[in-house]
């Protein structure tokens, strides 16, 4: 074998090993936290339409994953957005996706635990796709930091006491709109 072929095989093995480690990392984080499940464009659109998002409004997505909702809000609605995610690699990927979509100046992504008690950022619309027990921990923070009438949209999972305004069924999942009292 030539030295170029051997070098190519070594590089291919390194890339495969890195991909395997990344997959293992996501699996372990999913077992001990909230697994990442991408919110595709149909869910993003349904969530933002249900919230009646307007241009220049601020969207905050808690547990943003790859930033799909925030990026869609900026690109399709002319909104601004902030995403919070606890998987660092997903934050990097979200930033990359925002750059590719051309909305990097309208959005930001943070590697941060939003449940740490700090004041939450200003928002007109809050989006979540979090388990009910996480929504239950987030709800008092939302009530504490957001004014009455702030729209909260949740994919699939409920909030314990926020007033439900309306819901829609999208591909077998319920999208719910709540208002901060």
Each residue of 108-127: b (16+ CB within 10 Å) or e? bbeeeebeeeeebeebbbbb
Name the architecture of domain 41-179: 3-Layer(aba) Sandwich (3.40)
Instruction: Give tens-digit pLDDT for 82-103.
Output: 999 988 889 999 999 999 999 9
pLDDT at residue 4, rounded to an integer: 84
Nearest to 83 by CA among 103, 110, 104: 110
> Residue 178 corresponds to which tokens in the numbers above?
């709540």
Instruction: Give tens-digit pLDDT for 146-173.
Output: 999 999 999 999 999 999 999 999 999 9
pLDDT at residue 27, rounded to an integer: 62
Region of poorest pLDDT, from 10-19, 76-85, 114-123, 145-154: 10-19
Query: Residue 51 — very low, low, confident or very high, per pLDDT cuts 50/70/90?
Result: very high
């Amino acid at each position: 074998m030539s030295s170029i072929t051997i070098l190519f095989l070594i590089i291919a093995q390194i890339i495969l090993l890195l991909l395997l480690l990344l997959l293992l990392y996501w699996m372990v984080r999913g077992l001990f936290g909230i697994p990442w499940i991408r919110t595709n464009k149909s869910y993003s659109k349904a969530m933002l339409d249900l919230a009646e998002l307007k241009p220049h409004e601020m969207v905050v997505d808690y547990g943003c994953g790859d930033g799909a909702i925030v990026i869609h809000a900026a690109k399709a609605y002319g909104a601004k957005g902030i995403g919070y995610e606890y998987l660092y690699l997903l934050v990097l990927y979200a930033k990359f996706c925002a750059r590719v979509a051309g909305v990097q100046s309208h959005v930001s992504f943070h590697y941060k635990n939003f449940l740490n008690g700090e004041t939450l950022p200003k928002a007109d619309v809050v989006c979540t796709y979090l388990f009910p027990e996480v929504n239950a921990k987030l709800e008092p923070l939302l009530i504490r930091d957001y004014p009455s009438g702030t729209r909260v949209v949740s994919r699939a999972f409920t909030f314990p006491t926020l007033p439900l305004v309306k819901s829609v069924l999208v591909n077998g999942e319920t999208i719910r709109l709540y208002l901060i009292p």
